[in-house]
Amino acid sequence: MRYHAQHIENKLTSPRIIVRHEWAKKKGYTPTPEQIERGLTDVEPEIREVWAQRKDFVPSHEQVERGLSDTSAIVRIAWIQRMDYTPTPEQIERGIHDADAEVRIAWAKRKRYKPTPEQIEKGLTDPHEEVRAAWAERKDRVPTPEQVERGLKDTHWSVRRAWAKNKHFTPTPEQIERGLTDPDHFVRFEWSQRRHIQLSPEQIERALTDDNELVRMACAGREDFTPTPEQVERGLTDTDGVVRWIWAQRTDYTPTPEQIQRGLADNNTHVSRIWREKKAMLRI
């Protein structure tokens, strides 16, 4: 739909916040430079945020600087998430030290800039766990052994989980064992599905019998071990349908007639479908 220029102008200058907000989000028209500038300086932060999120204009250096130093955190975050400008070292440094944790998280997640070692260390030791986790998940650096060990021992599970997902370090046997026995099941899940680490038979058995189905699921999907008949039977009769589905798809064991019949009668349609396909392939 095409809109008359005066109609657009009337909507963008409406005294009603909801109308200005709606038209700041609306597509189907190209705002003028004056309208963009007015939107970016609106008295309402929610409207400034929406204008900062628009992709139909390239902001000036002044607009970027003003947005990154806006009094509202939601506006600063919207500008951090734009990828059509290169932030200055001063803007990056200011953002990493922002008083608002959500802003610091946004800078940790932003790509296309190279933080200094000091900024990385600042992020990894931030007082807010979500900031530490976001920095742990960055893929543009190789962490030091000290940073890895500190992160894997962090007091918050989300940070330990983020480090368990980080593939830019080789964990020690002690770190692997500690991760596999972590009190939080999300951390154990990440370690159980982590490839390129060799788990001992004892560690595999422990993960396959974990109280949490996500951990059992992750270990059942590993292809670097040959399950025992007892592990196969236990997996095929697991209380969780996804775990049974993963075991049904494994090809490193020969199912018994009883296991095949039980699989065909499984109340989970995804599991029974796998067994029908497997039966046809085995020509039973």
| pLDDT given for residue 42 in this prediction | 97
Q: What is the DSSP letter of 100?
A: S
pLDDT tens digits, one per residue of 102-130 = 999 999 999 989 999 999 999 999 999 99
pTM for the model: 0.89
pLDDT, position 2: 77
Q: How many CA atoms lie within 13 A of 169 on its CB side?
A: 24
- What is the phi/psi pair of residue 6, to 5°? -70, -35
Q: Does pLDDT of 232 surpass 90?
A: yes
pLDDT at residue 1 is higher than 70: no
Tens of pLDDT, residues 128-163: 999 999 999 999 889 999 999 999 999 999 999 999
The 10s digit of each residue's pLDDT in 160-172 is 999 999 999 999 9
| Nearest partner of 279 among 252, 261, 265, 267, judged by Cα | 261
Share above pLDDT 90 across residues of the chain, in percent, rounded to a whole number:
93
